[in-house]
């Protein structure tokens, strides 16, 4: 009996960190206006958005709830669309 309890305790101890690692990343808050942003601003934002995308993909592979996955995917698309619109505005200003 002690053996089974020990196995259950070990299993639970290893399962909890796996659940704790599945944390939804925070979306970048500030995306500069492409019409007035500098190249440095846009490149820094690109790095931030790329890191967010990587973190979100990791989260999506971890999250088991379909509703949470759908909401996270929608947020990712929203951030990407906002950033891409500002990139287009930046490029249009010449």
- Write out pLDDT tens, residues 29-42: 999 999 999 999 99
The burial of 63, by beta-carbon neighbours within 10 Å (0-12 exposed, 13-18 middle, 19 or more buried), is given as middle
CA neighbor of 27 nearest in space, from 45, 64, 59, 52: 52
pLDDT band of 17, cuts 50, 70, 90: very low
pLDDT band of 50, cuts 50, 70, 90: very high
- The C-alpha atoms of residue 94 and residue 74 are separated, in whole angstroms, by 31
| pTM for this model (two decimals) | 0.75
* Mean pLDDT of all residues in 10-17: 49
* Mean pLDDT of all residues in 9-13: 49
């Amino acid at each position: 009996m002690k053996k089974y309890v020990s196995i259950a305790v070990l299993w639970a101890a290893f399962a909890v960190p796996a659940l704790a690692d599945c944390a939804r990343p925070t979306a970048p808050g500030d995306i500069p206006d492409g019409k007035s942003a500098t190249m440095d601003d846009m490149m820094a934002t690109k790095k931030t958005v790329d890191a967010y995308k990587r973190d979100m993909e990791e989260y999506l592979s971890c999250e088991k709830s379909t509703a949470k996955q759908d909401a996270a995917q929608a947020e990712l698309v929203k951030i990407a669309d906002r950033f891409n619109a500002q990139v287009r505005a930046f490029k249009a200003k010449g």
